[in-house]
Amino acid sequence: MSREPRKLLVTGGAGFIGSNFVHHWYSQYPGDRIVVLDALTYAGDRQTLADLEGKANLRFVQGDICDRSLVDTLLKEEAIDLLVHFAAESHVDRSILGPGAFVQTNVVGTFTLLEAFRQHWMLAEQPATYRFHHISTDEVYGSLEPDDPGFSEKTPYAPNSPYSASKAGSDHLVRAYHHTYGLPTLMTNCSNNYGPYHFPEKLIPLICINILMGKPLPVYGDGQNIRDWLYVGDHCSAVEAVIRQGTPGETYNIGGNNEVKNIELVEMLCELMNEMAPEIPVRPAQSLITFVKDRLGHDRRYAIDATKIRTELGWTPAETVEGGLRRTVAWYLNHQDWWQPLLSAEYQEYYRQVYS
């Protein structure tokens, strides 16, 4: 069935999930206009979009979501009708070292976008088709006990880290803009993602890269913390389902039903690397596993109850954790040209601060 082309503003589109989303959306709807707004912080990299460079329907703008006049100009100039907001400071460990940037980007930045989009929507006489889609995380719900049910959309917020607290703040603003002004918002709270273009300091790429370099594999605390891992392509298809069919003002939790203990995940990655990377310097890779000092305030367990998105929108993940990890390891082995340049002096300094 034919549809009117949409005009998207994707914030954070040069980061991990944002760039996967831009690829996903472009492959589904090549006739849509996509404007990417990204500040290119340490976590943003234009190379994530290199294969789309030069496409007539894609525009990249380097800029800050806190820059109201820039956001106003883009919304107007490009007649944006769908804003998909991925931009954030996203790493818990960095939020422990320096929370200020998290409040600025995640809270003030989201507020700036909401205000700009509200004005833009009102000037256009509040079209029913406009959407402001806010990408959030399961971490706003806090930490689960071993036998607790997974987080549902009704679970009370209890963020424990400066990262999750700043995301919770942005979620509350989004909720309030729908409740107060009727802004057509959508919100998704997703579990841990993995896959291509994941920045090297996050657990899964870090383990693959350290194995290739014969470096210790740092596991925090006792390694028994649990995360619910979702392949990034499944996150993108879930966001698409919510944009297409979600009800304005609603929140949808997204998860893979793949709860894995950190130590088990690291062991799975070691097995895959033993099998898929013949030249690794230390074999078996498991011998590099090193338990290190725990993260401050480390949440024990996250798990998502994805009943709502499954029953209301018919979305289910396509990838298993075994299949997704294999694809991801293969991607990191084949894309050293992408991640090698990211192991910069700044990265080494960050690494020293967290692990020494």
Total residues at interface with ligand TYD (CB under 6 A): 12
Tokens of 267: 């062991």
| The token pair that represents 9 in the structure block | 């503003």
Binding mask 38-67 for ligand TYD (x = CB under 6 A): ------------------------------
| Rg (alpha carbons) of the chain, rounded to whole number | 20
Q: Which of residues 36-65 bind ligand NAD (CB under 6 A)?
A: 38-41, 43-44, 64-65
| Of 139, 299, 305, 319, catalytic | 139
Which helix (DSSP H) or strand (DSSP E) does residue 51 occupy?
none
* CB 21, CB 86: distance < 8 Å: yes
Verify binding: residue 251, ligand NAD, rule CB under 6 A.
Answer: no
Concerning whether 163 is annotated as a catalytic residue, the answer is yes
* 45 contacts 14 by C-beta, under 8 angstroms: yes
Candidates 163, 194, 197, 252; catalytic one: 163
Catalytic residue (choose from 45, 81, 89, 138): 138
Residue 262 binds which entry of ligand NAD, ligand TYD, none, CB below 5-8 Å type-dependent: ligand TYD
- Please tell me whether residue 17 binds ligand NAD under the rule CB under 6 A: yes
Contact segment (CB under 6 A) with ligand TYD among 32-40, 149-157, 216-224, 317-325 equals 216-224
User: Would you say 189 and 137 are in contact if contact means Cβ atoms under 8 Å apart?
Assistant: yes
Instruction: State the binding partner of 225 from ligand NAD, ligand TYD, none, CB within 5 to 8 A by kind.
Output: ligand TYD
Nearest to 72 by CA among 128, 15, 9, 12: 9
Structure tokens, 83: 């804003």
What is the nearest approach in angstroms of ligand TYD to the Cβ of residue 142? 12
Distance between alpha carbon 323 and the CA centroid of its chain, in Å? 20
Least Å from the CB of residue 23 to ligand NAD: 13
Q: Which of 16, 187, 26, 8 is closest to 110 using CA atoms?
A: 187
**Judged by CB under 6 A, does residue 107 bind ligand TYD?**
no
Nearest-angstrom CA–CA distance, 155 and 160: 15
Residue numbers at the binding site for ligand NAD (CB under 6 A): 11-12, 14-18, 38-41, 43-44, 64-66, 86-90, 105, 109, 135, 137, 167, 190, 192-193, 199
